[in-house]
A and B are shown apart, each in its own frame.
Chain A
Amino acid sequence: MNRREVLAGIGAAALSAASAREALAQSPRRGGVLTVQLSGEQRVLNPAIRASTGVYIITSKIMEALVDLDAQGKPAPVLATSWEAAPDGKTFTFRLREGVAWHDGKPFTSADVQYTAMEMWKKYLNYGTQLQQYLEAVDTPDPHTAVFRYSRPMPADLLLRALCDLGYIAPRHVFEGTNILENPANTAPIGTGPFKFVQYERGQFVIAERNPDYWRKGFPYLDRIVWRFITDKAAATAALETGQVQTSEYNALALADLDRLKSDPRFTVSSRGLEANAFNNTLEFNCRRKELADVRVRRAIAHAIDVPFFIENFIYGEGKPATGPIPSSSTAFYPGGKPPYEFDVKRSNALLDEAGYKRGAGGIRFSLKLVPIQNGEDVPLLATFIQQSLQNVGIRVEIVNLDNAGALATVYRDWNFDLATGWHQYRGDPAVSTTVWYRSGSPKGAPWTNQYGWQSAVVDKLVDDAATELDPARRKALYADWVKAVNDEIPVWMLTERTFLAATSKKVKNDHNYPRWGSGDWHDTWIEA
């Protein structure tokens, strides 16, 4: 039993008991409108074909996944009520919730699961096509059972954790027989969730309203959720301060404003409820450059950069030096340890000398081209910080400024870079989001994969073994070995470990009460009058 099931099953009586754990003094108010600020629009609002926090923040209230995380970060039932894996790991049986209806009134059945998995996750969903590449079929012995059959063993913990993001179900009867990418339901979603889609005004807002027939009886509390697109960060903060919006998730405000709002009694600024989306500042090395092919040079560069100084002075202390590509919030896999490369200019210089790159004219050893991939406002700051830090050890850095599309093409398709810096976003399980950064063999052009001209048979084997290891303990051990190996070789260096920040009005209650709240369904969220 988890918190969300208790809420759903027993209703109001159990609610007060469950809420007590969240130290809630007031009883929930029904009604009201929660307005959310978003900094950009998405092309589709269908989480079954597009995996992105920008899509989830809207659609997760309208559509539902098979599973979601609970307050402790463990997979919990939503549209699936229970699951069972066969001992060989190749068959996975989900029991589905009964009495659930789509917003257009049709019943939700295993046929929807089958269709979504085979036609959407396996064919179109980013990260999903990869996760489900060995999915052979989904059998539907009855309307409330879906059996996933894989041709290779699929670890249960990997599948369940991944399905929180990559397990949203779309209605078969709406999509079947149409061109999935052009279906109007992609921008006017029909789901089973606590809120029904009402209206999408391009460039302005999206509205969803309470679903009176929601399967969690008595929920949701809110009458409406409105998402407003405000691209200018200063204007977004103003909207929050004037009460036009009540919450802003995933670092949509300027870091300076978030820091200022921390001391404003009207708002809570915190990473609580967004822990499931950890991210790192990265530094990628193009090992086709002969200097960077030498691991001593890569290590020297890591030693030359004072990461704690960057965190303290550039990003308002919101983060810590990373100990590897698995963030500490990922308790199922985090191997512990300390940051592999301390700030040590002397050691950096010694390593560069040892590698044979003596200082030449003007104290310069060689020059590198750095391409920032502008995921966030801190990326250009870090690029400048790297430039100045490397200048101190005799490496001249030229920063090549491009917009997002340009930077991705330049780095991952054209390989026209020496260094690149951006973000790595961790998605719950290293096999979903992270090992592709290190595994060799990614086709040219795939963004955020190993395009560095670097390859290690040891790392490749560890990645492959861990992806099919069924025993959670052994899987964790394999990933610990893997972290050690990639920390040692650093084809890409994770400098920081960070979580996103949200700024929320204190009028909003039951907010950020589990690690995926930003991408959650908000069925139990309410707002003070």
Chain B
Amino acid sequence: MTILLLALRRLAASLPTLFLILAGLFLLLQLAPGDTVDALMAQMGGGDPATAEELRRYYGLDVSALVQLGRYLLRLVRLDLGMSAIYGKPVADVIAERLPVTLLLMGTSLALAFLGGMTLGVIAARTVGRWPDTLLSTLGLVFYATPSFWFGLMGIVVFAITLGWLPSGGFEEVGSGATGLARALDIAHHLVLPTVTLALIFLATYLRVMRTAMLEVMNLDFVRTARAKGLGPTAVTVRHALRNALLPMVTILGLQAGTMLGGSVVVESVFALPGLGRLAYESVVQRDLNTLLGIVFVSAILVILINFAVDLLYAWLDPRIAAGG
């Protein structure tokens, strides 16, 4: 119960920020030349002014920016995100369609990156200065520095075109009609390449943070004590050092939650995945204000929730934090 209250208090505290973000973004987008009807005209290869005028009226663009903002905020109070200009459906529906894909993709990649980074970081720390450490650190840097679209495309060239093991893109087999486990396996099959591509980018960060944290913790008194009482190196690492070294990792996880919800435009485009990142990009290009503001709104709320969860996780990892807070 206290947790729920705490969560609600957090949410209430961030409402003014949320309002400022949305109003600011709305006004910022007014500065971009062209509106959604211009984008539509560009897409359909032109049209006469009467059509354009009719469409401006339809999209509610025939009034001043302030009136538009007022209308938007008034709707928002009633939790109505408006209609998406691109899809002609309520923004809430459009986002609800995309959210699972993004959450699945980003969740699995972050988990993979976190676990991989943690394991490799520990190995690097334990072999510090020797060849495994050098190799892992170098590889991590290489992955970090390589653009994700290149990774994605190379993955497609090798595993989809040359070897034919994995599909080159898409979320699932179109029109296969599979359900249940078969569908889950199909989706997993499609998500292998994009997940690994994204995870490799994040991996380097976790690897380096884990390595540093481990090295620091390994020199602390309680580790020396553990060794002194006769524990083996593995037990020391896993039972004593790891848990303490995980704190900075969790911090990064919380920070990356924001990036995560924005999705990855690049990876989603390369693998033709219908995620939030591509939707946001498309909304900007098509000047679809409602959808863009809707994405920002939903992402902001989710970021708040995730950071709250991270705070709880801190307390679980290190009881001193909860006692202090």
Not counting A126-B41, A126-B51, A405-B287, a sample of 16 additional A-B residue pairs whose C-beta atoms are within 8 angstroms of each other reads A41-B87, A43-B40, A53-B45, A204-B170, A226-B175, A232-B270, A235-B272, A238-B153, A238-B157, A404-B39, A406-B33, A407-B33, A408-B38, A409-B38, A442-B49, A446-B52
| B174 CB contacts on chain A under 8 angstroms | 35, 204-205, 207, 226, 228
Contacts A202-B87, A242-B161 given; does A232 touch B272 at CB 8 Å: yes
Q: Is the beta-carbon distance between A202 and B49 smaller than 8 angstroms?
A: no
Closest to A53 in B: B45
Task: Tell whether B168 is near chain A: CB-to-CB under 8 Å.
Answer: yes
Sort A-B residue pairs by CB-CB distance and give the 5 closest, nearest first.
A126-B47, A203-B274, A405-B34, A409-B34, A52-B44
A207 to B98, CA, bound (A): 19
Task: Tell whether A77 is near chain B: CB-to-CB under 8 Å.
Answer: no
Q: Is the beta-carbon distance between A408 and B41 smaller than 8 angstroms?
A: yes
Q: Which of A129, A224, A226, A402 contacts B50 (CB 8 A)?
A: A129
Q: Which of A199, A201, A433 contacts B274 (CB 8 A)?
A: A201
Q: Which of B14-22, B246-254, B278-286 contacts A (4 or more CB under 8 A)?
A: B278-286
As a 0/1 sequence over residues 153 to 165 of chain B, the CB contacts with chain A under 8 angstroms (1 = contact) are 1001100110010
A241 to B52, CA, bound (A): 40
A442 to B278, CA, bound (A): 36
| B88 CB contacts on chain A under 8 angstroms | 43-44, 182, 186-187
Task: Tell whether B64 is near chain A: CB-to-CB under 8 Å.
Answer: no
CB within 8 Å of A: which B46-92 residues: 46-52, 54, 58, 85-88
User: How far in angstroms is the closest Cβ of chain A from B84?
Assistant: 9
Q: Which of A186, A199, A244, A405 contacts B42 (CB 8 A)?
A: A405
Q: Is the beta-carbon distance between B46 and A124 smaller than 8 angstroms?
A: no
A-B contact pairs, 20 of them (CB 8 A): A42-B44, A54-B44, A186-B88, A202-B94, A203-B98, A226-B174, A228-B170, A231-B272, A235-B271, A239-B169, A242-B160, A404-B42, A406-B38, A408-B34, A408-B39, A413-B38, A447-B38, A447-B41, A448-B45, A448-B46
| A402 CB contacts on chain B under 8 angstroms | 33-34
A235 to B154, CA, bound (A): 10
Task: Tell whether B97 is near chain A: CB-to-CB under 8 Å.
Answer: yes
A230 to B174, CA, bound (A): 13
Q: Is the beta-carbon distance between B278 and A203 smaller than 8 angstroms?
A: yes
Q: Which of B42, B161, B282 contacts A238 (CB 8 A)?
A: B161
Closest to A402 in B: B33
Contacts A204-B274, A242-B168, A405-B285 given; does A43 touch B52 at CB 8 Å: no
| B169 CB contacts on chain A under 8 angstroms | 230, 235, 238-239, 244
Task: Please classify how large the interface on chain A is, using the bins under 10, 10 to 19, 20 to 34, 35 or more.
Answer: 35 or more
CB within 8 Å of B: which A426-459 residues: 433, 436, 442-443, 445-449
CB within 8 Å of A: which B134-176 residues: 149, 152-153, 156-157, 160-161, 164, 167-171, 174-175
Q: Is the beta-carbon distance between A126 and B44 smaller than 8 angstroms?
A: yes
User: How far in angstroms is the closest Cβ of chain B from A374?
Assistant: 9
Closest to B274 in A: A203
Task: Tell whether A485 is near chain B: CB-to-CB under 8 Å.
Answer: no
Task: Tell whether A127 is near chain B: CB-to-CB under 8 Å.
Answer: yes
Q: Which of B48, B160, B274 contacts A129 (CB 8 A)?
A: B48
Q: Which of A124, A127, A244, A410 contacts B168 (CB 8 A)?
A: A244
Task: Tell whether A296 is near chain B: CB-to-CB under 8 Å.
Answer: no
User: How far in angstroms is the closest Cβ of chain B from A185?
Assistant: 11
Closest to B33 in A: A406
A53 to B98, CA, bound (A): 26
Closest to B172 in A: A204
Closest to A187 in B: B88
| A198 CB contacts on chain B under 8 angstroms | 175
Q: Which of A231, A405, A447, A448 neighbours the largest number of chain B CB atoms within 10 Å of its CB?
A: A405
Task: Tell whether A151 is near chain B: CB-to-CB under 8 Å.
Answer: no
Closest to A233 in B: B269
Q: How many A-B pairs with Cβ below 8 Å?
A: 186
Q: Is the beta-carbon distance between A235 and B269 smaller than 8 angstroms?
A: yes
User: How far in angstroms is the closest Cβ of chain B from A133?
Assistant: 9
A205 to B274, CA, bound (A): 10
| B278 CB contacts on chain A under 8 angstroms | 203, 231
Task: Tell whether A385 is near chain B: CB-to-CB under 8 Å.
Answer: no
Closest to A201 in B: B274
Task: Tell whether B36 is near chain A: CB-to-CB under 8 Å.
Answer: yes
Q: Which of B54, B171, B286 contacts A405 (CB 8 A)?
A: B286
Q: Is the beta-carbon distance between A230 and B272 smaller than 8 angstroms?
A: yes
User: How far in angstroms is the closest Cβ of chain B from A408?
Assistant: 5
Task: Tell whether B2 is near chain A: CB-to-CB under 8 Å.
Answer: no
A242 to B38, CA, bound (A): 36
Q: Is the beta-carbon distance between B34 and A406 smaller than 8 angstroms?
A: yes
| B279 CB contacts on chain A under 8 angstroms | 203
Contacts A404-B285, A405-B38 given; does A445 touch B168 at CB 8 Å: no
As a 0/1 sequence over residues 275 to 286 of chain A, the CB contacts with chain B under 8 angstroms (1 = contact) are 000000000000
Q: Is the beta-carbon distance between A235 and B33 smaller than 8 angstroms?
A: no
Closest to B266 in A: A232
Q: Is the beta-carbon distance between A409 and B274 smaller than 8 angstroms?
A: no
User: How far in angstroms is the closest Cβ of chain B from A347?
Assistant: 34
CB within 8 Å of A: which B169-207 residues: 169-171, 174-175
| A229 CB contacts on chain B under 8 angstroms | 272
Contacts A43-B40, A405-B285 given; does A207 touch B161 at CB 8 Å: no
| A72 CB contacts on chain B under 8 angstroms | none
Task: Tell whether B311 is near chain A: CB-to-CB under 8 Å.
Answer: no
| B269 CB contacts on chain A under 8 angstroms | 231-232, 235
| B85 CB contacts on chain A under 8 angstroms | 43
Q: Which of A55, A127, A414, A442 neighbours the largest number of chain B CB atoms within 10 Å of its CB?
A: A127
User: How far in angstroms is the closest Cβ of chain A from B52?
Assistant: 7
Task: Tell whether A50 is near chain B: CB-to-CB under 8 Å.
Answer: yes
As a 0/1 sequence over residues 175 to 192 of chain A, the CB contacts with chain B under 8 angstroms (1 = contact) are 000000110001100000
A33 to B176, CA, bound (A): 12
Q: Is the beta-carbon distance between B86 and A41 smaller than 8 angstroms?
A: yes
Closest to B86 in A: A43
Q: Which of A42, A198, A202 neighbours the largest number of chain B CB atoms within 10 Å of its CB?
A: A202
A35 to B176, CA, bound (A): 13
A239 to B270, CA, bound (A): 11
| B54 CB contacts on chain A under 8 angstroms | 123-124
| B49 CB contacts on chain A under 8 angstroms | 442-443, 445-446
| B274 CB contacts on chain A under 8 angstroms | 201-204
User: How far in angstroms is the closest Cβ of chain A from B294?
Assistant: 14
A301 to B160, CA, bound (A): 48
Closest to B85 in A: A43
A52 to B51, CA, bound (A): 14
CB within 8 Å of B: which A95-125 residues: 123-125
User: How far in angstroms is the closest Cβ of chain B from A484?
Assistant: 25
A202 to B88, CA, bound (A): 11
Q: Is the beta-carbon distance between B35 and A409 smaller than 8 angstroms?
A: yes
As a 0/1 sequence over residues 23 to 40 of chain B, the CB contacts with chain A under 8 angstroms (1 = contact) are 000000000111110111
User: How far in angstroms is the closest Cβ of chain A from B9?
Assistant: 36
Q: Is the beta-carbon distance between B87 and A43 smaller than 8 angstroms?
A: yes
Contacts A43-B85, A244-B169 given; does A224 touch B175 at CB 8 Å: yes
Task: Tell whether A425 is near chain B: CB-to-CB under 8 Å.
Answer: yes
Q: Is the beta-carbon distance between B164 and A405 smaller than 8 angstroms?
A: no
Task: Tell whether A40 is near chain B: CB-to-CB under 8 Å.
Answer: yes
